[in-house]
Structures are given as C-alpha cells and as structure tokens.
C-alpha cells in the first residue's frame, strides 16, 4: 500500500494548483498511491478549513485521510477546534505551517497542539526548512522540533520537505536520531541526488515517509524518487506506506 | 503503466564548478555517469562560470570540459548587452554551437528589443535557439520577454527550469507565443505534463535534468507514467530538442 503523507485541500491558483479531486485522483492512480493525507492551511478560520477538509475527504473516504489545522493567531479557539476536528470530523493528524503564520517553532503558542497530539497519539506534520534560523526564524528549522518531541513523546512529529535543502536534510537526520518520535517526509521541489539514500542511511528506513505536496507537485515524481533510489525493496515499502500506516494506526 | 525506454536528450545541464559553493557533481565523468544511470543519451551543456564572470572564457572552459565528447552538446552563454556578435559569431562557427543561453537578470540588463534585436536577427539567420532560465528566479521580465521574442518568431525560445513559482508568467507566455518551449526539469506541478500538452501541444515540451542540482531519474519515471502516446513521449524526451538544435525531425 502506498500512502502519501502530504497533500493540500484548497487551491493555490497563483502557482497553478487549483483544487480538482478528479485530477488528483487520476495522478494518484497513475502513481499507484492508495491513500493521501490532506489538510487545508489557507484559512484564517480553522473551523472553516477543517470543515472543507472533512467535506473533501467525505467525497472519497477510501482515498483520503484528513488532517486538522489550527491557527496560532487565535489561540483561544485552538483546543475546542482540535477536539471538534478529531472527534466530530474524524481528522487523523495535525498540520502546522510556522512560516505562513510568522511564528517560530520555538514559540510557546504551539504547546497546546503538541500536547493534544501527545494525548491522542496523533502525528503532527510541519513545514520545515534548513535555511539559517537567524535569517529566517519562522521557517521551521528541524532542530527546533527536538524540544517538543522530547516534551511530548506521544506525539509523532513529521518534518515535511525534509528541510528542503542539503543542510536541512542533515538537520532532519540529527533531529530524528535524537528522538524516536521524529519522522522525515520527503516532498520538495528540490530533487537532489542521493537525498533519499542519505535520509535512509542517516535516520533509518523506519523514519522516512513518502509525501508529494499534491496538488502542487505530481505524486509520480516523488514515488519516482523512492522507487529509483539505491535502497532495499524493504526500505522502499516502508517509506512508501508501511511507516505511514503505523503512524496513522492503520496497521 | 510504465512505457518503454525512448532515446533521451537532456536540454538543461550545467558542467563545472561554482565560485560560491561546492558543487557535488562537477566533472564530465560525473555528468556522463549520471546520464548513463538515468538512461540519458545526450545533453545540452553550459558552463556556470559564464553566469557571474566571463562569457568568452566560460564558453572556452566548457569546450575544454566537454573534451570533444559527442554526447555533450555545447551551449554558449552570451551577454546580449556587453558581448560583441562578431566575436561570438567566430567562436560559434568554430565550435558548431547550435544554441545560446542568456541570463539578463544576472547580467544586469533588460531583455528589450534595442539590446536583443541584432542578436536575434543573427540567430534567426544561423537557425539557433535561445535558452532563458525562468526558474524560481526568472532571468527576464515577462513583458520584455514577450515583446522581444514576438519580434523574432524564427528564433525558438526555451524557458529553462520553469518552476511552479514562475507559473503565472510561464503559463500565459506559452499561450501567447507559439515559438516558446518549456523545459520540464523543474515543472513539477500535479499533472503538469498533460496540462502542458493541452496548452502547448507535444512539440514544445523538452525534457531537462537541471544537472547537477536535480536527480533526473524521478522525472523520467514520471514521464513514462503520464499515459502519453509513444510519439509524444519520444518528442518530449528528445525528438523536439533534436529538431530544435539540429533542425532535424
Ligand atoms: Zn505542502
């Protein structure tokens, strides 16, 4: 089974990514992806975002798994919305995006989210980026997730884009090696040589997850990164689905 | 379902070191090994020294680096604003160069007709094609590119490294001018190949690797799973570039 751990509900029109479930499903079929995790991060109103995610998933419940989202700009709404998202809407993980919200990962504002994920044993996926945190303090430098992972060991923290660049990948590997509940998701528009091999060698094949960033990026490109990598078939199976199934409590 | 192997001709590879960072794969052997591991038979190659320092020197370094290997097709980088056509013309003839690359933003000039016209008139005569990087950092303002390219319909223009960040510029441009081509090396958009096919037809899409920054194997994996006809797959993987560079096919 192939599980895509990173997909968006909603449109990004200015970069050519309009929400189109049929087009997404066609690409998933061609990539032989069975399930995709999706979230909506575009709304200032998290309840609206989560509603849209749940409605999108409800149209194809056999193909999509919804993740919830909450905005740090309305901390007073966070807890109730997380409970509603998980219990009423059936959302199975949490997405955060520090650069969109101009908040550093180190900000205490995220505490209730990691705490909720810890209590409910949910994965939290966050945008990450390996650029210098002094220059870009809100970009999601991978090391910044380590204190959260140690404080909330029940929360499985997924570093999206594997830090995007080489330095970011190395930082993701260090983070994963220091915490058993940190995972690394691979999608990025940077498809460097040996990126998958380096993640597997550094963090281990149990800690790497396939993701595509659909509908921005075609899922065939990132399944292709895993399938063409010089790693064992067993490692490919784990990255493409088995690891995700474990985090989503599907196996 | 995956499609069979077709000859692959890469439209976008760089060969050589950079001054400001270590380049992981910077030799001819690295490039040839990547090509052989990826099933790429030939590649159009430029030297990145030309981007920040001298074009004439950098193009010479490129020829030395290629060392006469027939699998590597040299592409010269020129500066429309400061190079002299007469000087480049002699080198182009000597070396059998079939395409040029310009980087107006990096070379700090606008791609306007009163700078580019003499070059493009000469290129039309010589049946040469022009590459302009439109990756995350577009090398030309879209208005300048449109106005200038429109005046020279006989010079094919390849939008190299078109990234989804440049989509709002690339998408209307390929519709507005039918002698613009898209290099796929960074065109990762969901269902992007089929959407490009609908937008521009099969003859204006070129496979590119963006070596040494990008591993081309995943994209070739993707291209073979787009449900393309064999004719379209062959055109995108190499036939179109062959026609563009060698006026064949
Ligand atoms: Zn994303």
pLDDT per residue as tens digits for the range A14-43: 889 989 999 999 999 999 999 999 999 988
Kindly state whether B122 is in contact with chain A, defined as any CB-CB distance less than 8 angstroms. Answer: no
The reply to whether B201 falls in a domain is yes
Mean of pLDDT values over A146-161: 98
Specify the residue for token string 């001819």.
B28
Interface confidence (ipTM) of the complex: 0.94
Kindly state whether B146 is in contact with chain A, defined as any CB-CB distance less than 8 angstroms. Answer: no
Kindly state whether B222 is in contact with chain A, defined as any CB-CB distance less than 8 angstroms. Answer: yes
Percent share of chain B, pLDDT over 90? 90
What pLDDT, on a 0 to 100 scale, did the predictor assign at position B20? 86
CB contact (8 A) between residue B24 and residue A193: yes
Give the residue among B142, B143, B140, B154 at the shortest CA–CA distance from B101: B140
Say which residues have a Cβ less than 8 Å from residue A157's Cβ, sequence separation at least 6: A114, A123, A124, A126, A145, A148, A149, A179, A181, A182, A183
User: Which strand (E) or helix (H) includes residue A59?
Assistant: helix A46-59
Cβ–Cβ < 8 Å for B120, B152: yes
What pLDDT, on a 0 to 100 scale, did the predictor assign at position B22? 85
The reply to whether B2 falls in a domain is no
Cβ–Cβ < 8 Å for A8, A39: yes
CB contact (8 A) between residue B218 and residue A30: no
Task: Compare CB distances from B192 to A192, A218, A223 and report the shortest one's residue.
Answer: A218
Mean of pLDDT values over B228-239: 97
The reply to whether B92 falls in a domain is yes
Coil, strand or helix: which one is A39?
A: strand
Kindly state whether B186 is in contact with chain A, defined as any CB-CB distance less than 8 angstroms. Answer: yes
What pLDDT, on a 0 to 100 scale, did the predictor assign at position B249? 45
For B135, nearest residue in chain A (alpha carbons):
A189
What pLDDT, on a 0 to 100 scale, did the predictor assign at position B3? 67
Please say whether the dihedral angle defined by the alpha carbons of residues A84, A85, A91 and A96, taken in this order, is positive or negative: negative
Say which residues have a Cβ less than 8 Å from residue B94's Cβ, sequence separation at least 6: none
Range with lowest mean pLDDT among A204-208, B113-117, B162-166: B162-166
A188 to A71, A164, A213, B110: CA distances (angstroms): 23, 6, 8, 31
pTM recorded for the entire structure: 0.95
Q: What is the pLDDT of residues B95-148, one digit of tens each?
A: 999 999 999 999 999 999 999 999 999 999 999 999 999 998 899 999 999 999
The reply to whether B102 falls in a domain is yes
Question: Any idea what the CATH number is for the domain that residue B17 is in?
Answer: 3.20.20.140
Length of chain B: 249
CA distance A180 to A165: 22
Query: Structural domain tally of chain B?
Result: 1
What pLDDT, on a 0 to 100 scale, did the predictor assign at position B4? 66
Mean of pLDDT over chain B: 95
Tell me: pLDDT of B70 over 80.
Answer: yes
CB contact (8 A) between residue A225 and residue B218: yes
Instruction: Looking at chain B, list the stretches that DSSP marks H as alpha helix, in order from N- to C-terminal side.
Output: 28-38, 49-52, 55-66, 85-95, 104-107, 113-126, 142-150, 167-176, 192-200, 217-223, 230-234, 240-246
CB contact (8 A) between residue A218 and residue B190: yes
Greater model confidence, A137 or A71: A71
Task: Show the domain range for B42.
Answer: 9-246
The reply to whether B1 falls in a domain is no
Mean of pLDDT values over A188-212: 96
Tell me: pLDDT of A54 over 60.
Answer: yes
Instruction: Looking at B53-184, list the stretches that DSSP marks H as alpha helix, in order from N- to C-terminal side.
Output: 55-66, 85-95, 104-107, 113-126, 142-150, 167-176
Q: What is the pLDDT of residues A66-96, one digit of tens each?
A: 999 999 899 999 999 999 999 999 999 999 9
Task: Give the strands of the sheet with B42-46, arranged side by side.
Answer: B9-14, B42-46, B72-74
Find chain A residues with C-beta within 8 A of B164's C-beta: 15-17, 189, 216-217
Please say whether the dihedral angle defined by the alpha carbons of residues A144, A147, A150 and A152, taken in this order, is positive or negative: negative
Backbone angles phi, psi at B27, to 5 degrees: -115, 165
Give the best residue of A29, A191, A236 to mutate against chain B (max B CB count within 10 A). Answer: A191
The reply to whether B3 falls in a domain is no
Q: What is the largest CA-CA distance in chain B?
A: 51
What pLDDT, on a 0 to 100 scale, did the predictor assign at position A103? 86
Tell me: pLDDT of A58 over 50.
Answer: yes
CB contact (8 A) between residue B227 and residue A30: yes
What pLDDT, on a 0 to 100 scale, did the predictor assign at position A251? 79
CA distance A183 to A74: 28
User: Which strand (E) or helix (H) includes residue A236?
Assistant: helix A233-237
What pLDDT, on a 0 to 100 scale, did the predictor assign at position A37? 98
Q: What is the pLDDT of residues B30-64, one digit of tens each?
A: 999 999 999 999 999 999 999 999 999 999 999 99
CB contact (8 A) between residue B191 and residue A23: yes
User: Which strand (E) or helix (H) includes residue A203?
Assistant: helix A195-203
What pLDDT, on a 0 to 100 scale, did the predictor assign at position A65? 98
Tell me how far the alpha carbon of residue A225 lies from the centroid of ligand 1, in angstroms. Answer: 17
- What's the topology of domain A3-247? TIM Barrel (3.20.20)
A180 to A132, A149, A164, A185, A244: CA distances (angstroms): 25, 8, 21, 15, 15
CB contact (8 A) between residue B221 and residue A216: no
What pLDDT, on a 0 to 100 scale, did the predictor assign at position A171? 96
The reply to whether B191 falls in a domain is yes
Mean of pLDDT values over B195-205: 97
């Amino acid at each position: 089974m192939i599980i895509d751990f990173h997909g968006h509900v909603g449109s990004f029109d200015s970069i050519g990514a309009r929400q189109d479930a049929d087009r997404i499903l066609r690409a998933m079929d061609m990539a032989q992806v069975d399930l995709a995790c999706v979230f909506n991060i575009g709304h200032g109103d998290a309840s609206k975002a989560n509603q849209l995610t749940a409605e999108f998933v409800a149209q194809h419940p056999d193909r999509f798994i919804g993740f919830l989202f909450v905005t740090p700009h309305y901390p007073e709404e966070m807890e109730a919305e997380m409970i509603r998202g998980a219990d009423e809407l059936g959302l199975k993980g949490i997405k955060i995006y520090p650069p969109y919200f101009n908040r550093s990962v180190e900000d205490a504002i995220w505490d209730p989210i990691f705490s909720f994920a810890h209590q409910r044993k949910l994965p939290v996926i966050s945008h990450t980026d390996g650029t210098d945190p002094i220059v870009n303090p809100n970009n999601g430098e991978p090391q910044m997730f380590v204190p959260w992972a140690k404080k909330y060991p029940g929360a499985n923290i997924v570093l999206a884009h594997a830090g995007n660049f080489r330095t970011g990948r190395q930082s993701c590997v260090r983070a994963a090696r220091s915490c058993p509940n940190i995972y690394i998701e691979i999608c990025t528009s940077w498809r460097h040589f040996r990126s998958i091999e380096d993640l597997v060698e550094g963090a281990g094949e149990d800690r790497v997850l396939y993701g595509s960033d659909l509908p921005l990026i075609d899922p065939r490109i990132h399944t292709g990164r895993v399938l063409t990598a010089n790693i064992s078939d067993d490692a490919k199976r784990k990255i493409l689905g088995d690891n995700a199934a474990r985090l989503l409590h599907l196996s | 379902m995956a499609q069979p192997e077709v000859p692959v001709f890469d439209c976008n590879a760089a060969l050589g070191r950079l001054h400001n960072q270590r380049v992981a794969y910077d030799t001819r052997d690295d490039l040839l090994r990547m090509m052989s591991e990826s099933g790429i038979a030939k590649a159009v190659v430029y030297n990145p020294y030309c981007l920040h320092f001298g074009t004439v020197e950098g193009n010479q370094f490129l020829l030395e680096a290629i060392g006469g290997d027939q699998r590597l097709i040299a592409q010269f980088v020129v500066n429309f604003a400061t190079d002299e056509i007469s000087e480049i013309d002699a080198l182009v003839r000597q070396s059998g160069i079939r395409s040029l690359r310009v980087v107006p933003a990096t070379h700090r000039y606008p791609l306007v007709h009163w700078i580019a016209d003499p070059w493009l008139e000469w290129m039309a005569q010589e049946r040469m094609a022009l590459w302009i990087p439109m990756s995350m950092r577009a090398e030309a303002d879209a208005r300048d590119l449109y106005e200038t390219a429109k005046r020279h319909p006989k010079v094919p223009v390849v939008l190299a490294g078109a990234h989804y960040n440049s989509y709002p510029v690339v998408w209307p441009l390929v519709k507005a001018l039918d002698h613009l081509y898209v290099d796929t090396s960074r065109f990762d958009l969901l269902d992007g190949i089929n959407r490009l096919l609908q937008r521009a037809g099969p003859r204006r899409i070129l496979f590119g690797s963006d070596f040494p920054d990008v591993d081309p194997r995943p994209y070739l994996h993707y291209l073979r799973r787009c449900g393309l006809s064999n004719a379209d797959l062959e055109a995108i993987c190499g036939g179109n570039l062959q026609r563009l560079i060698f006026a064949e096919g």
